[in-house]
């Protein structure tokens, strides 16, 4: 009897503990603390928001995380020196309150905010910055960000000038170098130096990390992780931003990440009101939700074209040494510019926008779309679809048609090839089906081969055993620099011809030079001119047949305040410190 009473008491205590766990209150500002004031932000304290994620994050370690899902959570926990404001697409001071660039563009002096603290209350200073960059650039750690920090094979040098000043020296001028700092989370030296010195840094900050062992400079800090179910992050009481009324951000008590499985499950949970924010919606799901708007209170946002570009890619790789006679025979067609131009002319981009993106997308004729207002070359022509022009182009290149309308090349071989695409991406599958029909009008026989994504990547990057593929790139940042690895001939995403030892064609040589030049040009207008020419070369020579880009579509429950999705990743949570819960009943809102 006594034991039962004891147990009951224990349970009551546990339950009470769970229900009445004290919410962390924001710390009062200390004198000398240099906080960032967001003059146009207001909201109210309290409550929590829930976000459905497709799967569990793989890690909470910002240095080794590569997948978008992990980064979505990590981004809430960590802070950067300089941030790209996702709304304006411009850089903004963050942990560095200001910076000076030397006249040769090689030396950056960053002034850190004074008096600010990590989420465990430990002060942040220049030593943490130097430590963090040491980790990012360490070859043994193998961070995906390392490539950005090694310029011309030489690392950036980072030196501490004083407790709150850090100097970065670049091996050569680098355009828009301050954008590099976005996404490089500052690490707490006091917590991570030990695992780093002991050589097991990659194992640090796994999902099972104890909450006392992880700290960051983001608006939230880790509260709990329930395997297979959720991650809960709570307010960082020491966060360094305040709103217009000098109240310390963030407004929310907690942010809950639920692991729901698939994109469809995300939509269903959102529809049922179990989650509050959803991003990367497909047009079909967006339209589905907008029909539900009458029933449930939602705010949906169509942010316009994304920066991603979908394209048809032909295999122009050097196949010497690989036994792929079948593919190399077809490469004679693919290498012919007129053949590619004919295909581009025959593609019904308008239908792609209407049928694939449900009219919530934009047709593309180049790698930079209208979503990237700063860099798009407006002079790139947008010829409308013309089967006649396509036929003329093919005719002038020596192709003919037989009595049944089949297209034959100069040698009398029927033109027939297959397009591989990821079977899990229904939008690209649909594009392939439309292309198949478009090209049938030219007498080409096109087969669609849906492949599992990994098998597709293997064929495109390793075995080169494919004719054509539909893929997508871009979407990271508006700046041209992340595009280097696509357009520079030695780039790792130079998909149509990987592993070139020198540019295969004159235009590729020019393109490579333009990209290298723009990277070291600091003046925006001159850089824009170089990149305009690069875009023109790409559009004229069609290494990719550009198809279209989806709009960025996101939604939130109407009780979410300050919901301002952006076209840059992370589309909805970039201002998680400013999000708040509207309306009455806040006292209960935090209880799950």
CB nearer to another protein: give 386 or 492.
386
Q: Which of residues 514-553 bind another protein (CB under 8 A)?
A: none
| Least CB distance to another protein at residue 461 (A) | 16
Which residues 6+ apart lie within 8 Å of 306 measured at CB? 369, 371, 475, 549, 550, 551, 552, 567
Size of the site for another protein (CB under 8 A): 32
| Least CB distance to another protein at residue 2 (A) | 54
Q: Which of 394, 479, 476, 477 lies closest to 443 in space, CA to CA? A: 394
Task: Give the helix/strand (H/E) hosting 154.
Answer: strand 154-155
Half-sphere exposure of 556 (CA within 13 A, CB side): 20
Q: Before 146, cis peptide (omega within 30)?
A: no
- What span, in angstroms and rounded, lies between the C-alpha atoms of 49 and 230? 13
Find the binder of another protein among 85, 111, 299, 426 (CB under 8 A).
Answer: 426
Name the segment binding another protein (CB under 8 A); options: 65-73, 107-115, 177-185, 419-427: 419-427
Could you tell me the two tokens for 95? 């942990």
| Least CB distance to another protein at residue 469 (A) | 11
Burial class (CB in 10 A: 0-12, 13-18, 19+), 291: exposed
- What span, in angstroms and rounded, lies between the C-alpha atoms of 356 and 368? 20
Give the strand pairing for 96-101 and 154-155. Answer: unpaired
Distances (CA, A) of 226 to 141, 215, 233: 27, 19, 12
Distances (CA, A) of 111 to 86, 94, 130, 167, 402: 23, 10, 13, 9, 72
CB nearer to another protein: give 268 or 522.
268
| Least CB distance to another protein at residue 42 (A) | 31
CB nearer to another protein: give 138 or 302.
302
Q: Which of residues 274-313 bind another protein (CB under 8 A)?
A: 282, 284-285, 287-288, 290-291
CB nearer to another protein: give 265 or 537.
265
Find the binder of another protein among 206, 247, 418, 505 (CB under 8 A).
Answer: 418
Site string for another protein, 39-68 (x = CB under 8 A): ------------------------------
434 binds another protein (CB under 8 A): yes
| Least CB distance to another protein at residue 369 (A) | 21
389 binds another protein (CB under 8 A): no
Burial class (CB in 10 A: 0-12, 13-18, 19+), 120: middle
Q: Which of residues 219-258 bind another protein (CB under 8 A)?
A: none
Q: What is the largest CA-CA distance in the chain?
A: 96
Name the segment binding another protein (CB under 8 A); options: 89-97, 116-124, 261-269, 397-405: 261-269
420 binds another protein (CB under 8 A): yes
- What span, in angstroms and rounded, lies between the C-alpha atoms of 265 and 466? 33
423 binds another protein (CB under 8 A): yes
328 binds another protein (CB under 8 A): no
One DSSP character per residue, 4-56 reads HHHHHHHHHHHHHHHHSPPPPPPPPPPTT--PEE-TT-------EEEEEESS-
Residue 157: count other Cβ atoms within 10 Å of its Cβ. 13
| Least CB distance to another protein at residue 212 (A) | 41
CB nearer to another protein: give 273 or 398.
273
CB nearer to another protein: give 171 or 450.
450
**Interacting residues toward another protein by CB under 8 A:** 264, 267-268, 282, 284-285, 287-288, 290-291, 348, 351, 354-355, 358-359, 418, 420, 423, 426, 430, 432-434, 436-437, 447-450, 465-466
């Amino acid at each position: 009897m006594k034991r039962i009473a004891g147990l009951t008491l224990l349970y009551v205590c546990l339950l009470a503990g769970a229900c009445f766990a004290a919410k962390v209150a924001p710390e009062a500002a200390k004198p000398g603390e240099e906080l960032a004031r967001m003059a146009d932000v207001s909201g109210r304290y309290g409550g929590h928001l829930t976000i459905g994620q497709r799967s569990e994050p793989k890690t909470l370690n910002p240095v080794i995380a590569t997948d978008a899902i992990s980064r979505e959570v990590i981004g809430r926990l960590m802070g950067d020196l300089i941030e790209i404001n996702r709304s304006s697409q411009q850089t903004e001071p963050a942990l560095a309150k200001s910076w000076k660039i030397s006249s040769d563009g090689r030396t950056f002096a960053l002034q850190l905010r004074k008096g600010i603290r990590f989420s465990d209350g430990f002060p942040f200073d220049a030593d943490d910055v130097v430590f963090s960059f040491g980790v990012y650039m360490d070859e043994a750690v193998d961070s995906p960000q390392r490539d950005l920090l090694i310029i011309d094979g030489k690392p950036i040098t980072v030196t501490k000038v004083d407790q709150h000043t850090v100097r970065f020296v670049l091996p050569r001028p680098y355009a828009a170098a301050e954008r590099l700092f976005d996404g490089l989370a500052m690490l707490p030296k006091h917590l991570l130096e030990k695992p780093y010195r002991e050589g097991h840094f990659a194992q640090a900050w796994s999902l099972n990390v104890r909450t006392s062992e992880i700290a960051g400079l983001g608006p939230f800090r880790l509260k709990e992780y329930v395997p297979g179910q959720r991650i809960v992050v709570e307010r960082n009481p020491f966060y360094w931003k305040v709103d217009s009324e000098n109240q310390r951000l963030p407004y929310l008590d907690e942010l809950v990440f639920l692991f729901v499985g698939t994109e469809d499950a995300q939509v269903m949970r959102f529809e049922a009101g179990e989650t509050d924010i959803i991003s990367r919606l497909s047009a079909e799901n967006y339209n589905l939700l907008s029909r539900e708007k009458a029933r449930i209170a939602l705010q949906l946002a169509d942010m316009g074209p994304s920066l991603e570009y979908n394209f048809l890619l032909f295999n122009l790789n050097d196949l010497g040494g690989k036994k792929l006679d079948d593919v190399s025979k077809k490469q004679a067609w693919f290498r012919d510019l007129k053949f590619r131009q004919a295909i581009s002319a025959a593609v019904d981009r308008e239908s792609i926008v209407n049928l694939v993106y449900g009219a919530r997308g934009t047709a593309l004729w180049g790698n930079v779309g209208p979503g990237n207002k700063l860099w798009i070359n407006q002079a790139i022509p947008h010829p409308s679809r013309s089967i006649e022009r396509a036929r003329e182009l093919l005719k002038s290149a020596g192709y003919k048609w037989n009595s049944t309308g089949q297209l034959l090349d100069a040698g009398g071989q029927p033109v027939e090839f297959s397009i591989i695409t990821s079977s899990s991406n229904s939008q690209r599958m649909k594009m392939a089906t439309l292309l198949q029909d478009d090209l049938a009008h030219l007498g080409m026989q096109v087969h669609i081969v849906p492949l599992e994504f990994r098998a597709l990547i293997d064929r495109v990057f390793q075995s080169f055993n494919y004719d054509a593929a539909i893929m997508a790139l871009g979407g990271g940042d508006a700046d041209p620099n992340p595009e280097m690895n696509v357009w520079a001939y030695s780039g790792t995403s130079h998909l149509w011809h990987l592993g070139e030892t020198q540019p295969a064609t004159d235009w590729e040589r020019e393109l490579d030079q333009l990209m290298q030049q723009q990277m070291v040009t600091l003046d925006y207008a001159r850089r824009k001119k170089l990149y305009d020419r690069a875009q023109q070369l790409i559009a004229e020579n069609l290494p990719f047949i550009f198809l279209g880009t989806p709009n960025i579509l996101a939604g939130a429950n109407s009780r979410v305040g300050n919901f301002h999705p952006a076209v840059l990743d992370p589309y909805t949570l970039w201002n998680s410190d400013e999000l708040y819960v509207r309306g009455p009943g806040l006292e209960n809102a935090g209880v799950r």
